[in-house]
Each structure stands twice: as C-alpha cells, then as structure tokens.
Amino acid sequence: MKTNKIVSNTHRPIEQLVTIMSRLRDPQKGCPWDVEQDFKSIAPYTLEEAYEVVDAIEKNDMPALKDELGDLLLQVVFHAQMAEEAGLFTFDDVAKFVTDKMISRHPHVFGDAHVTTAEGVLTQWEDLKALEKKDKLPQNSILDDVPVAHTALVRAQKIQKKAAKVGFDWPDTAPIFDKIEEEINELKQAVVDKSSSEIEEELGDILFAVVNLGRKLGVDSETALRQCNNKFYKRFNGIENQVKLENKDFSDYTLEELEKIWQDQKRKA
C-alpha cells in the first residue's frame, strides 16, 4: 500500500510525531477514530501505557521499555494536540512548563542552593512545591491535590503522607499492628453479622491500615502488591506446568495435593 510522505526527514523525531498527530486529527484528511476522541476517552489509554512502562521496567525488558515510552509519549502529544485545537495550550507549552519547573525545583543544580543528599532534595522539592501552591486558588483540604484517578493503593499512600506532614501520624509501627488486628476483628464480626456493607467497609479499613504500615516501613504498597502478583503468577504457572506434565486436569487433584505442588514451587523459587 502506498503512503504519502507528510513529514520531512530533516525534522527531529518529536517534531515529526507532533505533525503526524495533527494530521491524524484533521477533520477532513485525518483518521476517523482519532478525530472522534477527547480527553476523557483517551485517558484510559494514557493510564494503560503508563502501567506498561512500569511493567517493562520490572521485567528489565529494555526493548519493550523503548516501545512503551514511545507509546506513552504519543499519549502526551495526543492530549496536547486536542488542547491546541481547543485553544488551551500547545505541546511546546507543555515542554516549556516542565522545563521551567525542573529548573526552579533544582536550585542546587541551576542556582546557588546547597543540597548534597537525596533526602535533602526531596525536602527542598516539597518546600518549593508548597510555595508555588500559595499562588493558586485555596483548597478545602490539603488532600484535594491527591488525584482521585490514582489506584486505591497509591491514593491511600499519598493521602496518608499528606496527613502525616501536619502531624497526623502514628509515632511508630506498633500501634499500626494493633490497628490492623482491631480491623481484622471488626471484619470477622461483620462476617458473622452477614452485613455486606460492613464487610466491604471493614475490608477497606484493613487495606488502608496495611498501606499505612507499608508507608511507615518505607515500603511502596503498590510495588509490593505488584511483586506479590508476579510471584503468585510464577508459582501458579508452575502448578499448571506440573499438571500438564502429569497429563491431568486440575479437577483430578485435591486441594491438599495442589497445595503440596505449590509448596514445591515455593521451594524451587
């Protein structure tokens, strides 16, 4: 199939990408699917591409990371093109904004501030971020700038971190363990009472408390759960392979026999 050349090879790749997206969104000559999209319809794809970047990193798959970063960059260009069409901002505006922010948030690199540790850099970053927010509209809560669109685990961590910064935090991990045990007992009672609404609420309380424990221990709960998912996948896949090797079906095994295979996979790992 013959294709028309729409960008010059003398242009930098990012300029070619911006030009291509503009053409795809052209109401007369563009792609019908791309033309129909808006910010909300594209948002799920943006989130999906971000997760695929993380997946490639965790698999240490550098060719895949290159591809996924390209897909994520496409999402940025897509949103910027729609914003330009609406007269809101352009891709160059996006690039300039983040460039200016990186310079202003790193005075120890581009200015005369003196910070020598990663921890000091993070503290300085948050302080500068807080100063910038003073010029913005007032919020009802310090928690308002934690995006609702985050995964529940990530949002829980960020909410807890915000609350902790103003002193609303456990002094150490001991009371958090007590809190988790308390929430487990309340869930058990909700199960006895057969109250579906309370069961859901108490389970949420347990998860929130566990995330709080992870934060206090310096563990990212999203990463920890993702690694646990991967571990389960590998071990369960080991059970599947063993079942195939024995030319059987899962229904041919008792739960105890499957548990034994699971433990074998655990030892191998």
Question: Which CATH architecture does the domain made up of 13-93 adopt?
Answer: Orthogonal Bundle (1.10)
Q: Which residue has the tokens 């930098």?
A: 12
Joined tokens for residue 32: 């019908």
What value, to the nearest 5°, has the Cα angle with vertex 206 and ends 211 and 47?
50
Q: Is the fold of 13-93 the same as that of 137-219?
A: yes
Per-residue pLDDT of the chain (269 residues; tens, 9 = 90+): 555 666 666 679 999 999 999 999 999 999 999 999 999 999 999 999 999 999 999 889 999 999 999 999 999 999 999 999 999 999 999 999 999 999 999 999 999 999 899 989 988 988 888 787 766 666 788 888 888 888 899 999 999 999 998 899 999 999 999 999 999 999 999 999 999 999 999 999 999 999 999 999 999 999 999 899 999 999 999 999 999 999 999 999 999 999 999 999 989 87
Contact 140, 146 (CB under 8 A): no
Question: Cα 160 from chain centroid?
Answer: 17
Q: Which residue has the tokens 């913005």?
A: 136
Report how far residue 76's alpha carbon sits from residue 223's, in angstroms, rounded to the nearest whole number: 24
Report how far residue 69's alpha carbon sits from residue 74's, in angstroms, rounded to the nearest whole number: 9
Residue 78 buriedness (CB in 10 A; 0-12 / 13-18 / 19+)? buried
CATH 3.40.50.1100 fits 137-219, yes or no: no
Length in residues, the chain: 269
Per-domain boundaries in the chain: 13-93, 137-219, 224-268
